[in-house]
Structure 1
Amino acid sequence: MNGTDDSVLVRVEGRAAYLTLNRPKALNALTHTMVRRIDEALTTWERDPVVEAVVLTGAGERGLCAGGDIRAIHNDARDGDGSASAAFWRDEYRLNARIARYPKPYVAVMDGIVMGGGVGVSAHGGFRIVTERSRVAMPETGIGFVPDVGGTYLLARVPGELGTHLALTGVAVGASDAQHCDLADHCIPSESLPQLLDDLAHAPVGEVLGRYTREAPPGELAEARAWIDACYAADTVEEIIERLLDHGDSAAKQAAETLLTRSPTALKVTLVALRRARRLGVLENVLNQEYRVSCAALATPDLVEGIRAQVIDKDRTPRWSPPTLAEVTVADVERFFAPLGERELGLAVPDIARGSFWG
């Protein structure tokens, strides 16, 4: 690895080791180099008796991480053979699983924007901190993609159909709703973060968090649970949208209108991925499925088109192919889940997780 690369800052102070995602101009979007650097640091600290906890933060004022470097994925899918993206996801998903099983306290500071790959390096940790500034989302359907980095695992486990709502619409939630959906544990005022980070170098994680945890500002999802559960329990995306439009709640209608702007293929694949994730059990099994789905997406027009419209040209008018839900067939969806043979991610379920749905 390039020793001069500073996209992830690494330091140890007292009893804590600190990882800082350091691409603030790109809202700390993850590159393959960053994933490898995080993994190398976790390997070193796992064996270091001085390090008692690992703390993840993001540089700059805007947030922890906006996701993976989708410009690179766009260019690879459009001009390359997809192998660079597949290699990135292979290492990224393995890192997500490692974070979930890490033997030392892993503290993720989810301040500001936390999306996509940013959720993957934070929400699988043992201690997930949100603030009044947090906006947490898996917005993949808006770029013709499907929630990954263990996102379908996390959202499949959310009470009722709240996770289905978040996965299909890609809407961002604040601190209280993130806690309600078990994407975060502790809400701490953003102004307290500098002192909290300093204190973690000198005292156990649980003790420090106890000093600063406060009640989160009120959320919205708990009150919306009735219409969300009623509408998103449907078997197909078409029926979900029909129920949303017929429900009468203005928020339900708004959700339907949002869905109608998303990639029809990505919506259908996401719904199937979520439903299957509920049956797959542990995180590793779901990540193996997500890897199949992500690799399949590289060969579809919607991923390139979605990133073009949202990030490259920013015209916000993607031309999806097929353009309607009715034109996306069962066969179109099923091929996203086709086995990859020798190219499978192949994450094994650790012995500690066998027989446990939680993992």
Structure 2
Amino acid sequence: MVPTGTADVLLRTEGRAGFLTLNRPRAINALTHAMVLAVDEALTAWEHDPDVTTVVIGGAGERGLCAGGDIRAIHDDARDGGSASAAFWRDEYRLNARIARYPKPYVALMDGIVMGGGVGLSAHGSVRVVTERSRVAMPETGIGFVPDVGGTYLLGRAPGELGTHLALTGAPVGAADAILTGLADHFVPSTELPSLVRDLTRLPADEAVARHSAAAPPGVLPAQRDWIDACYPAESVEDIVRRLLDSGVPAAKETATTLLTKSPTALKATLATLRRARTLATLEEVLDLEFRVSCGSLTGPDLV
């Protein structure tokens, strides 16, 4: 079977690689249900194609890989009962699990903005590349929602309480901090991406990436670990905010102010989901948990 792609998901093969390009640049390649299905179809075809040994996913335009799901469509659907959103999430989460288990190298070029559903399409891959332009985030609490697409699985396994901090605040991280928290593997300067893509057509993925990888510019999270790890183990969101305010650290107090602008329901649901995700053994179990939480959010008043 030769995958055909769509106007929003461009497909091509060159040499040993199959290339997926999300192609909604005006929307920072925000995901639709049709795009999820097109990506899944391509992965099926290339999994069984002996000529394709590596899959590469990237985004059209200069702004980023993918800004997440189509929030406007989800909001409108929630007012109509939410059945379309539930179907979208079911297929999207299955795709996330498939990417994590894909038998061939799956190279995600996480250049620019990578948020929400974009994290699901990239951070479960086997070879995750960030650049100096990368801004990786799970910003769902800002819209009255909960991190999904396996985000609580990934953040729940970040060092210390870094994942809790990122899940509750929705703060974006750069390349070094994405690598530190387990959302990415390799730093490649954005100017090297065209050469990396060429090498991926002729070399094994690990070898191609190694030729272009470098040390990432320093991140900000290491300097914040002390107060993050001290404040976020608190039992409740209210206690976390109290610890942040009482810490005496300006950055912690600013974080408390940020949390107070978000939906209390979304924050509480996020904290509970993240802590439950830490106890589950597999990504599939966490995705099942997130699916139940996501569907439940459709009936709440806080979804923007």
Pair in the same fold by TM > 0.5: yes
1:153 and 1:52 map into 2 onto residues whose CA distance is: 28
CA distance in 1 between partners of 2:91 and 2:57 (Å)? 18
Query: How many residue pairs align between the two structures?
Result: 302
Q: Deviations over 1:47-79 (max 9, x none)?
A: 00000000000000000000001111011012x
Matched, 1:173 2:155: no
The answer to whether 1:201 aligns with 2:195 is: no
Higher deviation after alignment, 4-13 or 172-181: 4-13
- Pairwise mapping of residues 214-233 of structure 1 onto structure 2 (< 5 A)? 214-233=214-233
Report the RMSD for the aligned CA atoms in angstroms: 1.1
Distance 2:213 2:6 in 1: 35
The 2-side partners of 1:289 and 1:207 are apart by 37
**How many Å separate the matches in 1 of 2:259 and 2:95?**
31
Residue 166 of structure 1, CA deviation: 0.1
C-alpha distance in structure 2 between counterparts of 1:197 and 1:70, whole Å: 31
1:14 aligns with 2:15: yes
Paired position in structure 2 for 1:97: 97
Name the counterpart of 1:328: none
1:5 CA displacement: 3.4
Once the two structures are superposed, what CA deviation does each residue of 1:248-297 show, in whole Å capped at 9, x if it has no partner? 11110011011000110000000000110010111000000000000000
**SS of residue in 2 equivalent to 1:18:** strand
Q: What residue is the counterpart of 2:62 in the other structure?
A: 61
| Partner residue, 2:164 | 164
The equivalent of 2:287 in structure 1 is: 287
Shift of 1:195: 1.1
For residues 4 and 201 of structure 1, what CA distance do their matches in structure 2 show? 19
Structure 2 residue matching 1:292: 3-state secondary structure:
helix
2:196 and 2:212 mapped to 1: Cα distance? 7
**Contact 2:163-2:181 within 8 A present in 1 as well:** yes
Query: In 1, Cα distance between the equivalents of 2:213 and 2:270?
Result: 34
Residue 25 of structure 2 is matched in structure 1 by 24
Q: SS state of the match for residue 119, structure 2?
A: helix
Among the aligned pairs, what percent are the same residue?
70
Number of the residue aligned with 1:275:
275
**Structure 1 runs (4+) greater than 3 angstroms displaced:** none
In the alignment, the residues of structure 2 paired with residue 46 and residue 122 of structure 1 have an alpha-carbon distance, to the nearest angstrom, of 17
Q: Any conservation in 1 of the 2:106–2:125 contact (CA below 8 Å)?
A: yes
| Partner SS for 1:29 | coil
Specify the alignment match of 1:73 in structure 2: 74
Residue by residue, what CA displacement relative to the aligned partner does 1:86-142 show, whole Å, maximum 9, x if unpaired? 000000000000000000000000000000000000000000000000000000000
Any gaps of 5 or more consecutive residues in structure 2? none
After TM superposition, give the deviation of residue 43 of structure 1 in Å.
Answer: 0.2
Paired amino acid for 2:237: V
Which blocks of at least 5 consecutive residues in structure 1 are unaligned? 307-359
